[in-house]
Amino acid sequence: MHATLPLLRKTDFPSLRRKALDTLQVNLGYKCNQTCVHCHVNAGPNRKEMMDERTIDTVIRVLADKGLTTLDLTGGAPEMNPRFRYLVQSARALGVRVIDRCNLTILSEPGYEGLAEFLAAEGVEVTASMPCYSQDNVDKQRGDGVFDRSIAALQALNALGYGKPDTGLVLNLVFNPQGAALPPGQQQLEADYKRELAAHFRIVFNQLFVIVNMPIQRFGSTLVSKGQFAGYMALLKANHLEKNLDSVMCRTLVSVDWQGYLYDCDFNQMLGMTAPIGERPRPHLDDLLQQDIEGTAIAIADHCYGCTAGQGSSCGGAFA
């Protein structure tokens, strides 16, 4: 049972408007082979929500008709959608850059044999969750045995050329703090990751993305149950930097849920805060085919301070 979260939508966060759209971030479903403490999606093995074929075909139409450059696939574990490979191949055929937000352990799940080879063959960028380079910290946050399986997956990706110079196969890692604290500096932490993973496991990768934990869903409920919610929100607000507003991901990205409804970011999606696009109360992918959304307003709430605190935070890591 999750603790009741305080209302976030009464906010003094600065108003925002969209720039030109270039990225579609698509949640293919909430089913996942893991159940992580920091997960803002409440994903897990028992979730049934899954994007269907018709909606995936609409995603492909939007990519083609709007000339978008990037398709960012997330979940749950996006690879657990049975139409994952079809969508990837269709987007790549359009020349679209595809990012797979991979939890790494999916690569060793029964039934997913050959997944790593498929990603490499299609030139998919892999952005992989790796909250630490030590076993104790990873298993504490993500479950027993996850560290060893993650290391094996990274080694398998390296063997295919991921993270290595001149292969064109991009492998990025993602760090989330374990508790109610801002993450350390991205540049120094990336250097630490590269040194430790190379020394102990001969693993290489391109970049480390440092991402702030959002005070919503599972992580937000954990904060409430520990009496840390108000303190964490105060921390985010105290570290807000106005200059980060120009780089927040919602300015150029639209988040799409498993049913095809539109949000300004993945976090708003989890809070049910639909994007103020068009006339309908729940705008859909079909609405993107009808209009240009540059200059439209962005739905904001207190959790938005998580993206502007300190060095900034987005799906592509820190801004600075």
| 320 residues of the chain, pLDDT tens digit each | 345 555 566 799 999 999 999 999 999 999 998 766 556 666 677 888 999 999 999 999 999 999 999 999 998 899 999 999 999 999 999 999 999 999 999 999 999 999 999 999 999 999 998 877 877 776 666 666 788 999 999 999 999 999 999 999 999 999 888 789 999 999 999 999 999 999 999 999 999 999 998 888 778 888 999 999 999 999 999 999 999 999 999 999 999 999 999 999 998 998 899 999 888 889 999 999 988 999 999 999 999 999 999 999 998 999 86
Contact residues for 121 (Cβ-Cβ < 8 A; gap 6+)? none
SS3 content of the chain, % helix, strand, coil (to 5): 40, 15, 45
| Whole-model pTM over 0.85 | yes
Q: With left for phi above 0 and alpha for psi between -120 and 50, is residue 289 left, alpha or beta? A: alpha
Whether residue 220 is preceded by a cis peptide bond, meaning omega within 30 degrees of 0, is no
Token pair belonging to 180: 């109610």
CA distances from residue 41 to 4, 218, 235 in whole angstroms, order as listed: 16, 7, 22
Spatial CA neighbour of 155 closest among 102, 201, 103:
201
141-194 confidence digits (pLDDT tens) = 666 678 899 999 999 999 999 999 999 999 999 988 878 999 999 999 999 999
Cα 185 to Cα 164: distance, rounded to the nearest angstrom: 24
Full set of structural domains in the chain with CATH: 23-308 (3.20.20.70)
What residue type is 202 in one-letter code?
R
